Amino acid sequence: MGKNTNKVPSISIIVPVYNVEKYLKKCIDSILDQSFQNFELILVDDGSTDSSGEICDEYALKDRRVLVIHKENGGLSSARNEGIKASSAEYVGFVDSDDYISFSMYEFLYNNLIENNAEISICGLYNCYENNVYPQYSKKEFYLLNNEQALKMALEGKVFSVHAANKLYRKSLFEDVLFPINKLSEDAFTIPKLLLKSRRVVVNTVPLYFYVHRSGTITTSSYKKKDLDVIEAYFQNLKLVEENCPKLKKEAEFRLLWAFMCVLDKMIMTDDFSDFEKYKKILKTLKKNKTKILLNSCFSLHRKIGMVCLFLNDKLYKALIRYNHKRNMSLVN
């Protein structure tokens, strides 16, 4: 375990680490090379079975800002929560261990947060595929939002999403909100609650976080039962909206139906898929809500065309999804 003996850091940067020896050094180096230097880096080794834990220890010996926690494997949420618990700064940020960041990202986020007296600061991100890199949102825009405006923007998912890692948070937001254990789509369970707790959220869409899409990761893997967690997350968010800001019901319903579509797409793309009862239930839900989907302005034209295909003929929709999947995988591989 490395120990930070410098002055109290302004930012705690938390990196959950699990079997990422091939990518970890690039991630850590991008953090240690930040133009903003008053931070602690908390590497949470979540029971890695490769050399990831040793790599963490090597960095702790070289740099006093690095703190290493070794723990039994408990998943991404468990590792992030341990990092929050161990953090000593007023502000916390997260970086996934197979991603990397621009040298100015935390200076950018911190200055925006302090200058605008905000609880959460957000920057843009790049989607990084092996054969292509492009910004999640192509326009350079600045927003100063209240909690309801920020939640609306997150649910729409155009300017920014619920991704946890391209953000800086006031640590006190996590006093009664943590990442859920044993859930996929943990960000979808957590970030909307944090946005709703915030008085002020600052967004500057300059892309400074590099989100790496790899074949076989959660975002590109075949369907498994845990993928249903994303539906549960957005059911919870719909309830959160209904109880706290009912004006956002259209956006919350959009995101819930989007979650059903994402799970359906994964089912279709899995060759040995056999959970036909779940498939029929999801199909029934989407067909029942076809009018809402077609009239909801949050859905893209591409999605609406896909839904028309689904309503007309399941096989036509499958062919469309398989074509799009093949095109997207050509970016990853």
To the nearest 10°, report the CA torsion of 265, 268, 270, 272: 150
What pLDDT score does 164 carry?
Answer: 98
Secondary structure E strands in 59-138: 66-71, 91-94, 100-101, 120-129, 132-135
Can you give the pTM of this predicted structure? 0.92
What pLDDT score does 4 carry?
Answer: 45
What pLDDT score does 194 carry?
Answer: 98
- Strand 120-129 relative to strand 132-135: parallel, antiparallel, unpaired? antiparallel
* Structure letter (DSSP) for residue 174: G
Instruction: Give the Cα-Cα-Cα angle 200, 229, 179 (nearest 5 degrees).
Output: 45
Distance CA 190, CA 178 (A): 7
What pLDDT score does 1 carry?
Answer: 43
* Structure letter (DSSP) for residue 223: P
What pLDDT score does 325 carry?
Answer: 67
Token duo for residue 238: 């719909």
Distance CA 179, CA 11 (A): 19
What pLDDT score does 184 carry?
Answer: 93
What pLDDT score does 2 carry?
Answer: 42
Distance CA 290, CA 236 (A): 21
What pLDDT score does 11 carry?
Answer: 98
**pLDDT tens, per residue, the chain with 333 residues:** 444 445 799 999 999 999 999 999 999 999 999 999 999 999 999 999 999 999 999 999 999 999 999 999 999 999 999 999 999 999 999 999 999 999 999 999 999 999 999 999 999 999 998 888 999 999 999 999 999 999 999 999 999 999 999 999 999 999 999 999 999 999 999 999 999 999 999 999 999 999 998 865 444 467 888 999 999 999 999 999 999 999 999 999 999 999 999 999 888 888 777 777 888 899 999 999 999 999 999 999 988 988 898 888 878 888 888 777 666 555 444
What pLDDT score does 323 carry?
Answer: 76
What pLDDT score does 275 carry?
Answer: 77
